[in-house]
Amino acid sequence: MNDMTPDGYTTEDGRKIGAVVMEMRNITLRFGGVVAIQDISFDIREGEIRAIIGPNGAGKSSMLNVISGFYHPQEGEVWYKGAKRPTMKPYEVAQQGIARTFQNIALFEGMTVLDNVMTGRIRQMNAGLLSQAIWKGKAEREEVENREVVEKIIDFLEIQHIRKTPVGRLPYGLKKRVELARALAAEPSILLLDEPMAGMNVEEKEDMSRFILDVNDEFGTTIALIEHDMGVVMDLSDRVVVMDYGKKIGDGSPDEVRQNQAVIDAYLGVAHD
């Protein structure tokens, strides 16, 4: 975390991190009397892997839902690409280039892997209804072009062998990977991952970590992820936000966070007793 400038910084392994693409300013989210997020600010820079960690109930998932438009904070502002974002519905946020996965996996179970990933391309396809209905001109061209992109992503995530399988039949680990593929197909400006390793065995976790790093490396995708598993997070991410009881208690590089006393007390201490 040296050379921190407004334009970005260079990581220890030599990757160039760009300017701030998203900024949360003093976000407060309440459900009735329960404060889920209390006055939290942080930013996400272009090309980085940004983690949000914290014990159970810390408000991590709520924060992700605020970013993706599923929750609307009572106070605070979301700044995206240099402009304040108005209150938006989730599908509008998605159309702006913020793709996400879900902790409990939200795939279209009855559809094939290929179709699922193709839905990720909706933002890139804008042929009119009529053109689609007669399947000529723009609609046909678009379908073919987008299919090519999707096939590349399917290859990249090594799920070619299950392309035509209905998602409902797949085991958990593969479903997670299909969900990642669908989010990736949107070529998002920011990719939000909600506990991408939850419920996985060691081998699956290693695979997923590798894919996340590869995605970031290959496509330069900005990734914000929530994770429970401290070890995984520290290896993966460039910068980490630590939450506890809805408050931010730490923010910085993995090393900085590791040495932060508040973090050790709240999180590591609990995790290792």
Partner 1 sequence: MPEQFIWGMEVFLNGLMAGVLYALVALGFVLIFKASGIFNFAQGVLALFAALTLVGIMEGQVPFSHLINAVFGTDVHHFGWTVPALAAILLTMLVMVALAWAVNQFIFRHLVGQEPIILFMATIGLAYFLEGFGDMMWGSDIKKLDVGLPQGINSVIDEVTYNIFGYGFFIDNLDLWATLVAALLVIALVLFAQFSKHGRAMRAVADDHQAALSVGISLKFIWVMVWSLAGFVALVAGIMWGTKSGVQFSLSLIALKALPVLMLGGFTSIPGAIVGGLIIGVGEKLFEFIIGAPYLGGATEIWFAYVLALVFLVFRPQGLFGEKIIERV
Q: Which residues bind partner 1 (CB under 8 A)?
A: 68, 70, 89-92, 94-95, 99-100, 102, 106-111, 115, 118-123, 125, 127, 129, 132-133, 135, 139, 142-143, 168, 182-183, 186
Q: Please identify, using beta-carbon distances, which residue of 16 and 89 lies nearer to partner 1.
A: 89
Helix axes 202-219, 138-156, angle to 10 degrees: 130
Q: Please identify, using beta-carbon distances, which residue of 122 and 268 lies nearer to partner 1.
A: 122
Q: And the tokens for 132?
A: 């689609």
Cβ count near 267 (within 10 Å): 22
Closest distance of CB 247 from partner 1, Å? 27
Q: Please identify, using beta-carbon distances, which residue of 124 and 261 lies nearer to partner 1.
A: 124
Would you call 33 helix, strand, or coil by DSSP?
A: coil
Closest distance of CB 196 from partner 1, Å? 15
Nearest CA to 227 among 272, 266, 195? Answer: 195
Closest distance of CB 126 from partner 1, Å? 8
Contact 195, 201 (CB under 8 A): no
CA–CA dist 122, 194 (Å, integer) = 21
Closest distance of CB 262 from partner 1, Å? 33
Q: Which DSSP state fits 135?
A: T
Q: Please identify, using beta-carbon distances, which residue of 168 and 231 lies nearer to partner 1.
A: 168
Tokens 């701030």 belong to which residue? Answer: 20
Largest distance between two CA atoms of the chain: 64
Closest distance of CB 142 from partner 1, Å? 7
Tokens 């989010």 belong to which residue? Answer: 183
Q: Please identify, using beta-carbon distances, which residue of 114 and 240 lies nearer to partner 1.
A: 114
Q: Please identify, using beta-carbon distances, which residue of 41 and 119 lies nearer to partner 1.
A: 119
Closest distance of CB 41 from partner 1, Å? 25
CA–CA dist 186, 124 (Å, integer) = 7
